[in-house]
Amino acid sequence: MRILIAMMKHETNTFSPVVADWKRFQDWGAHLGEDALKAYEGTAMPMGAYIDLARERGAEIVTPVAAEAMPAGMVTTEAYNNLVNPILDAVREGVDCAMLDLHGAMVSEVTPDGEGTLLERIREIDPDLPIAVTLDLHCNLTDKMVSNCTTLIGYKTYPHVDMYEVGMQIGRALLDSMEGKVDPVMSWGNVPLLSQTLCQGTDDEPMATLIRLCREAEQEPGVLAATAFGGFALADMKDSGNSVIIVTDGDRAQADRIRDRILAKAWELREDFIYKHSPLEERVAEAKTMTDGPVILLDHADNCGSGATQDVMTVIAEILRQDLEDVAVAAVWDPAAVQEMQKAGIGSKITLKLGGKSDMPSIGEVGEPLEVTGTVKVLTNGEWTVHGPMYTGVNVFMGPTAVLDTGNMEIVIVSNHHEPWDIGVFTSVGIQPQHKRYLVLKSRIHYRAGFAPIGKATLTLDGKGVTTSDNNLLDYKNVRRPIYPLDLINEA
């Protein structure tokens, strides 16, 4: 058996000014051929699961590409072609099946449905090719995705700590179908609900209820997979929003029934999927009264893990203004500041105009650097390996990295965007986060993978940025309408 295994991932924030070009994929890790196999074999990724399944069967493994970039704006034509063409070439050469590790919210200059278009083009080459697909919980599911694969599943955790397990689950279903053991049929649908990522943590309501319903469904005889997608609201494309897909063994009526039950519950809980805001200065003042640390302070509107610039200084400025002590920040993106600190050298006192290098025209904001003075404490190359439960075994490349110590605050400054979902963002530069009073993280929910075990409390701080949860700041042009909460509608 000859199995094609590939990874192509990007969560596109169409409001982001950050360019998703080929270099951005290379900065994270764009691997071709044997390098792709070496990069992901033994990791807790869907691709790692696919490779293990292929090894079990003694199959020949074809890995044309494994590439991911931190979320950003629209994927360029060059980058999209560099991702898709190696996969299509491998299909043309002939394979028995394909197992694909995709995201589900890729918008490119070529197509608003990056994954659906890839699958469609694969099927144009080989209409009967068995295809298994894993998708992120934040997938904006489309008919093109479903119509052009054999089996499909999404993660049931956010933070995504079950990626290997879902890869195993859907990969086995595909192989079983090829052996005639099962006959997968899929039923999917969506509701007019544009829920916010900050309200999709699977340990929290309302998402916890939808996940519970999916797990219960998978206990029913004949159900191969059940997925409730939260969707990614910051990708302004037609199908953005909450959706459900059920895969059963030949029983479409069963799949339809389960799908409708879970979609109805998602719509019933729609108000709980919308974040409620609080004034920034009040939340920071509340944090100041909390003495048992670490207290995690989320600068969620500037989360590069959803496409933000990671250089907005609004929250950091307010924390400094209110004189919070013993603070560590991960991370500010400012390659120029890192270069200045490298020139100054470790131990030097330096004044920087930190961050604020990026304008954000989609929300009417201009970059505003913050002048800070401190000591250059650490300089590194920004490379480390994840040992926590999310992206386990994957190498991280933050680029040249520095730590600025202002006295009250240690700020990790990076040259490549990286969301802090693992404590390695601190430990790799010599900071012990468990002993800090406050941890400021430019993250939403993924921080929980590494930091929930050490955090004593968590506060969301509503700063500025293109991952805002304030719909009033975003000008949607392409999403289907009417849709809640952009439109007040009572029936799905």
Model confidence pLDDT, tens digit, residues 413-436: 999 999 999 999 999 999 999 999
284 and 269 assigned to the same domain: no
pLDDT number for residue 471: 87
219 and 198 assigned to the same domain: yes
246 and 131 assigned to the same domain: yes
Query: Of 247, 273, 299, which residue constitutes the final position of a domain?
Result: 273
Task: Find the CATH number of the domain harbouring 133.
Answer: 3.40.50.2300
Mean pLDDT of 100-110: 98
266 and 290 assigned to the same domain: no
228 and 312 assigned to the same domain: no
66 and 196 assigned to the same domain: yes
Model confidence pLDDT, tens digit, residues 402-412: 999 999 999 99
What's the distance, CA 368 to chain centroid? 26
Model confidence pLDDT, tens digit, residues 212-269: 999 999 999 999 999 999 999 999 999 999 999 999 999 999 999 999 999 999 999 9
> Could you tell me where the DSSP H helices lie in 218-363?
252-268, 280-288, 314-321, 335-344
Q: What pTM did the predictor assign?
A: 0.96
- State yes or no: pLDDT of 78 exceeds 90: yes
Residue 46 falls inside a structural domain: yes
Q: Fill in the amino acid letter for 484.
A: Y
Residue 480 falls inside a structural domain: no
39 and 71 assigned to the same domain: yes
199 and 314 assigned to the same domain: no
For the chain, what is the mean pLDDT? 97
**What one-character-per-residue DSSP string does 109-123 give?**
SS-S-HHHHHHHHHH
Phi, psi of 244, deg, nearest 5: -140, 140
Residue 476 falls inside a structural domain: no
User: Six-digit token pair at 129?
Assistant: 């090719």
308 and 256 assigned to the same domain: no
Query: Of 250, 273, 296, which residue constitutes the final position of a domain?
Result: 273
- State yes or no: pLDDT of 492 exceeds 70: no
What's the distance, CA 101 to chain centroid? 13
Helix (H, G, I), strand (E, B) or coil at 192: coil
Of 4, 267, 7, 308, which Cα lies nearest the Cα of 135?
A: 7
Mean pLDDT of 158-179: 98
Side-chain half-sphere of 60: how many Cα atoms within 13 Å? 8
**Integer Cα distance of 106 and 25 in angstroms:** 13
Model confidence pLDDT, tens digit, residues 178-227: 999 999 999 999 999 999 999 999 999 999 999 999 999 999 999 999 99
Residue 151 falls inside a structural domain: yes
Residue 9 falls inside a structural domain: yes
**Which pLDDT band, with edges at 50, 70 and 90, does 329 fall under?**
very high
Residue 478 falls inside a structural domain: no
264 and 401 assigned to the same domain: no
**Which pLDDT band, with edges at 50, 70 and 90, does 291 fall under?**
confident
**What one-character-per-residue DSSP string does 423-479 give?**
THHHHTTT--GGG-SEEEES-SSTTHHHHTTT-SEEEE----STT-S-GGG---SSS
Residue ranges making up the domain that contains 54: 2-273
**What one-character-per-residue DSSP string does 166-187 give?**
HHHHHHHHHHHHHTTS--EEEE
265 and 312 assigned to the same domain: no
pLDDT number for residue 13: 98
190 Cβ contact list (under 8 Å, min separation 6): 141, 231, 239, 241, 242, 243, 244, 263
Domain tally, the chain: 2
Residue 485 falls inside a structural domain: no
Decide: 370 and 378 in contact? Cβ < 8 Å: no
Q: Is 48 left (phi over 0), alpha (psi -120 to 50) or beta?
A: alpha
**Integer Cα distance of 104 and 16 in angstroms:** 18
Residue 288 falls inside a structural domain: yes
Query: Of 273, 308, 331, which residue constitutes the final position of a domain?
Result: 273
235 and 308 assigned to the same domain: no
Sign of the Cα torsion 393, 36, 380, 358 reads negative
pLDDT number for residue 364: 96
